[in-house]
Amino acid sequence: MDRATPLASGLVGCVSFVPFAEVRSRLPADEFLAVGGHEIHVVSRGGGDPLLLVHGFGGSTLSWEPVIEGLAARRRVVALDLHGFGWSERPTAPEAYTVAAQAELVLGVAERLGFSRFDLAGHSYGGGISLYLAARHPERVRSLVLVDSTLPAYGQLRRRALYGNRKLTGWLARSWGLRRGRVRRGLRDAFHDDSKVTPELVSGYLERLRVEGAEDAFFGLLAPNEEPPAPADLAAIATPTLVVWGAEDELIDVAEGRRSTAALEASSWIVLPGCGHSPMEECPREFLAVVDPFLDARP
């Protein structure tokens, strides 16, 4: 399904991408919502007050899979695939991949599902998007869970001049960025226990990245643009917030996490021992043990 042709493999080791129409046809129809002219993949479980889950950079609804059923025991849980990730349709326009556009996508999913207010959980890059959304639409976000979170400026600050040429960036996506070994290394960086990065997990992440339009997404997410880094006035966010961090996070260590979120006055902080950058995947039981009571007790 995702193997390159022998000629391409021999010359540059490039990968190929699955047509979105094929993705759309093999998944249940009710897992897609039309938002902003694009087909967005969502996973919905449970019933009751809504909780939206926003994954990190390179992630997808797969990142939340170990905890979705647990979270859905007492609420309606909806995980979505952002622009450029998972099973969602890849927009062509680079503007779709800004922090502002990703936040609008989250709001668009909420609108399509009829959620006037909702709890919001974001991991890493998705945490930055969640902060951006909570700061600008406090009337919509009832409570906030940040998991090893970046700040809203992260999406813009990771852009590099190297990716400014669209054709070159597309070639880099095929020949380097979406190779199996690179995805495996990225997951091992995010996990404390490398034995949990199984071949099946790598394949799951990889197939959700190798979707038609991946070159457009690579360019939209990494090429320089004119969007200024999103300001983060955390002191102005009055939303009840729980910050969860993996004690063994090697990508954003606990000390940096505490510094970056220190201005969040309405926050509680919990560090999970033995977990890396993705505690909801690596330590799902411990994650649920701290997130569930917070959500149950929110105003």
pLDDT value at position 8?
32
Is residue 1 in a domain?
no
Average pLDDT score, the chain: 93
CATH number, domain with residue 66: 3.40.50.1820
Residue 6 lies in a domain: no
Per-residue pLDDT band at 266 (split at 50, 70, 90): confident
Arithmetic mean of pLDDT, 193-205? 98
Do the domain assignments include residue 83? yes
The stretch 225-242 carries a mean pLDDT of 89
Q: pLDDT (tens digit, 9 = 90+) per residue, 51-110? A: 999 999 999 999 999 999 999 999 999 999 999 999 999 999 999 999 999 999 999 999
Range of the domain at 241: 18-297
Domain assignment present for residue 177? The answer is: yes
Average pLDDT over residues 211-228: 95
What's the total number of domains in the chain?
A: 1
DSSP class per residue in the chain:
--PPPHHHHHHT-----B-HHHHHHHS-GGGEEEETTEEEEEEEE--SSEEEEE--TT--GGGGHHHHHHHTTSSEEEEEPPTTSTTSPPPSSGGGGSHHHHHHHHHHHHHHHT-SSEEEEEETHHHHHHHHHHHH-TTTEEEEEEES---TTHHHHT--GGG-SHHHHHHHIIIIIT-HHHHHHHHHHH-SSGGGS-HHHHHHHHHHHSBTTHHHHHHHHHS--SPPPPP--GGG--S-EEEEEETT-SSS-HHHHHHHTTT-TTEEEEEETT--S-HHHH-HHHHHHHHHHHHHH--
Q: Can you give the pLDDT at residue 12? A: 45
Which pLDDT band holds residue 228 (cuts at 50, 70, 90)?
A: confident
Q: 10 lies in a domain?
A: no
More confident residue, 3 or 101: 101
Question: Would residue 277 count as lying in a domain?
Answer: yes
Q: Note whether residue 25 is domain-resident.
A: yes
Question: What whole-number percentage of the chain has pLDDT above 70?
Answer: 95
pLDDT category of residue 13 using cuts at 50, 70 and 90:
low
- Does the pLDDT at position 10 exceed 60? no
Q: Is residue 109 part of a domain?
A: yes
- What is the mean predicted confidence (pLDDT) over 156-161? 92
pLDDT at 261 over 80: yes
